[in-house]
Homo-oligomer: A and B are copies of this chain.
Amino acid sequence: MSNEQENTKKEALITIRTLLESGENEELLKFINDELYAADLAEFAYDLSLEENISLLNLLDELMAVDMLKDMETGLQEKILAAYDPETIARRFIDWMDSDDAVDILNQMNIELRDKVIAHMTDLEASRNIVSLLQYREDVAGGLMAKELIKVNINWTVSQCTDEIRSQAENVTKVYSTYVVDDQEKLVGIVSLKDIILANARTKVEKIYSDEVISVNTYTPAEEVAQMMRKYDMVVLPVVDTLGRLIGRITIDDVVDFIKEEADKDYQLMSGLAEDVEITDRVWILSRARLPWLLIGLLGGIASSRVIGLYEGELGAFPQMAFFMPLVAAMGGNAGVQSSAIIVQGLANNTLGSTNILPKLGKEFTVALLNGLICAALILGYNLIVGNSQALALTVSIALLSAIVFASLLGMIIPLLLNKFQIDPAIATGPFITTTNDLLGLGIYFSIGALLL
């Protein structure tokens, strides 16, 4: 965020706070209406107190309140909704939401509260939609889709389509395409609003629709949905059931959020955070998310101490050996992470290709060898210049080269293996591989040292 934006945001925040405190509600609503969108308010929610957020939500009209609430992170949503009873949650919020957003919020509640909220809904069609969506897991197409969509029968005329759009206009706020179904409700094609505008009112849908429509099944994994929408530049993706009947649609905004969350997750795996945490979470949750990786590090450290312990005699006789332990260990770790990151990204972006992967791995190996040689030569030069013993200098350089090459090999092979067994290869770039490579580097270093010194 630029500093200018930052300042505008701070000023708006002060205005909201002041008006909230002095109870000048009309003034506040006017300010919000003129200057802000619901998504801005959702951002401000992180700076406002719980009481301020609730006063603000109570003041806003239903559609704005719903939009503000749905744009917050789940942790904050939960805190705020805990202040409302089930009936108010149903009538002020859930009744006014698109079915996919409503389901996201209901899924965070315990089942008892969830059912109470649904029982209090007044919009019966909406509650039926929600109940049918709640059956899907959150990580499949069914869990991402909304029920609100516009479908037309292939035998209709354009003017019947217009009528259908009119009758659905209130439920479906953003319309990009109209789906074409046959008499069995099976998805057979798509007709764009542009084509509806340009066609004559009496033209039959079957004359103007396109049968090239990409759809997914309710059980298609969310990750595949995101990949498809990105690959085919889609703004909305229809979802069908096992019989091919159209039952929902997924919009790009949900997928954009999903892509961002997945990237965040990879980033967190890599930085050694085991759960999806926000800085707004409780201390214990934050601590728990980090402990697993710290414990792996601890175990790795203990293993290192065992490896080094085997060479206690050599170390006592030749304490300079200890000087370059951190260097060899850390460089192996760095090179390993670099290799695995390249492979993980190649797998994620499908640029690795699915056949003929060996020449690419060969290239990776050449890179590791080249960089290993450069680093080994540099450290050899350093050791000779500062006057360390030739045996030590040679040990460090040979160990460094071997550590870099072996760590790179492991860094390539581990993500490929994980991917083969359908495990997220991003795990391979986390503290796990760093720790393994630390150990590997030390083992190599001391074996060579024992030979040469």
Binding site for B on A (CB under 8 A): 1-3, 5-6, 9-10, 13, 37, 39-40, 43, 46-47, 71, 73, 162, 165-166, 169, 174-176, 192-194, 196-198, 214, 221, 224, 227, 229-233, 235, 252-253, 255-257, 259-260, 263-264, 266-268, 270-273, 277-280, 283, 286-287, 290-291, 293-295, 297-298, 300-302, 304-305, 308-309, 312, 315-316, 319-331, 334-335, 337-338, 340-343, 345-346, 349-356, 360, 363-364, 366-367, 370-371, 374-375, 378-379, 382, 404, 422, 429, 431, 434-435, 438, 442
What residue in chain B is nearest A264 (Cβ atoms)? B345
Q: Given known contacts A10-B354, A194-B169, A272-B337, is B345 in contact with A267 (CB within 8 Å)?
A: yes
Copies of this chain, tallied across the complex: 2
Q: Kindly provide the distance from the CB of A362 to the nearest chain B CB, expressed in whole angstroms.
A: 10
Q: Do B271 and A253 touch (CB < 8 A)?
A: no
Query: How many angstroms from the CA of A309 to the CA of B345 in the assembled complex?
Result: 40
Q: Kindly provide the distance from the CB of A401 to the nearest chain B CB, expressed in whole angstroms.
A: 12
Interface of A is mostly: helix
Q: Kindly provide the distance from the CB of A422 to the nearest chain B CB, expressed in whole angstroms.
A: 8
What residue in chain B is nearest A379 (Cβ atoms)? B298
What residues of B have a CB within 8 angstroms of the CB of A270 in the complex?
267, 270-271, 341
Query: How many angstroms from the CA of A271 to the CA of B267 in the assembled complex?
Result: 10
Q: Given known contacts A263-B263, A326-B304, A338-B271, is B43 in contact with A367 (CB within 8 Å)?
A: no
What residue in chain B is nearest A229 (Cβ atoms)? B256
What residues of B have a CB within 8 angstroms of the CB of A364 in the complex?
279, 286
Q: Do B230 and A257 touch (CB < 8 A)?
A: yes
A-B contact list, 14 entries, CB within 8 Å: A3-B422, A39-B232, A166-B198, A230-B253, A263-B267, A298-B327, A298-B375, A301-B324, A304-B327, A308-B323, A309-B320, A312-B320, A321-B322, A330-B434
Q: Do A286 and B367 touch (CB < 8 A)?
A: yes
Q: Do A279 and B351 touch (CB < 8 A)?
A: yes
Query: How many angstroms from the CA of A252 to the CA of B370 in the assembled complex?
Result: 41
Q: Do B232 and A279 touch (CB < 8 A)?
A: no
Query: How many angstroms from the CA of A321 to the CA of B309 in the assembled complex?
Result: 10
Query: How many angstroms from the CA of A71 to the CA of B6 in the assembled complex?
Result: 36
Query: How many angstroms from the CA of A130 to the CA of B143 in the assembled complex?
Result: 42
Q: Do B325 and A322 touch (CB < 8 A)?
A: yes
What residues of B have a CB within 8 angstroms of the CB of A304 in the complex?
323, 326-327, 330
Query: How many angstroms from the CA of A125 to the CA of B269 in the assembled complex?
Result: 49
Minimum-distance CB pairs A-B, first 3: A301-B327, A263-B263, A271-B341
Query: How many angstroms from the CA of A340 to the CA of B6 in the assembled complex?
Result: 21
Known: A46-B351, A290-B335. 6 other contacts (CB 8 A): A1-B350, A47-B355, A71-B231, A235-B253, A283-B370, A298-B331
Q: Given known contacts A273-B341, A286-B367, is B302 in contact with A327 (CB within 8 Å)?
A: yes
What residues of B have a CB within 8 angstroms of the CB of A442 in the complex?
326
- Contact with A230, one of B47, B221, B256 (Cβ below 8 angstroms): B256
Q: Do A301 and B316 touch (CB < 8 A)?
A: no
What residues of B have a CB within 8 angstroms of the CB of A214 in the complex?
37
What residues of B have a CB within 8 angstroms of the CB of A264 in the complex?
263, 345, 349
Query: How many angstroms from the CA of A271 to the CA of B227 in the assembled complex?
Result: 23
Q: Do B165 and A342 touch (CB < 8 A)?
A: no
What residues of B have a CB within 8 angstroms of the CB of A323 in the complex?
304-305, 308-309
What residue in chain B is nearest A262 (Cβ atoms)? B263
What residues of B have a CB within 8 angstroms of the CB of A286 in the complex?
342, 363-364, 367
What residues of B have a CB within 8 angstroms of the CB of A321 in the complex?
322
What residues of B have a CB within 8 angstroms of the CB of A324 in the complex?
301, 305
What residues of B have a CB within 8 angstroms of the CB of A165 in the complex?
194, 197-198
What residue in chain B is nearest A257 (Cβ atoms)? B230
Q: Given known contacts A270-B270, A330-B438, A350-B43, is B305 in contact with A312 (CB within 8 Å)?
A: no
Query: How many angstroms from the CA of A287 to the CA of B371 in the assembled complex?
Result: 6
Q: Do B235 and A294 touch (CB < 8 A)?
A: no
Q: Kindly provide the distance from the CB of A171 to the nearest chain B CB, expressed in whole angstroms.
A: 12
Query: How many angstroms from the CA of A4 to the CA of B217 in the assembled complex?
Result: 14
Q: Kindly provide the distance from the CB of A336 to the nearest chain B CB, expressed in whole angstroms.
A: 10
Count chain B CB atoms within 10 A of each CB in A3, A252, A374, A429 and give the residue with the most. A252
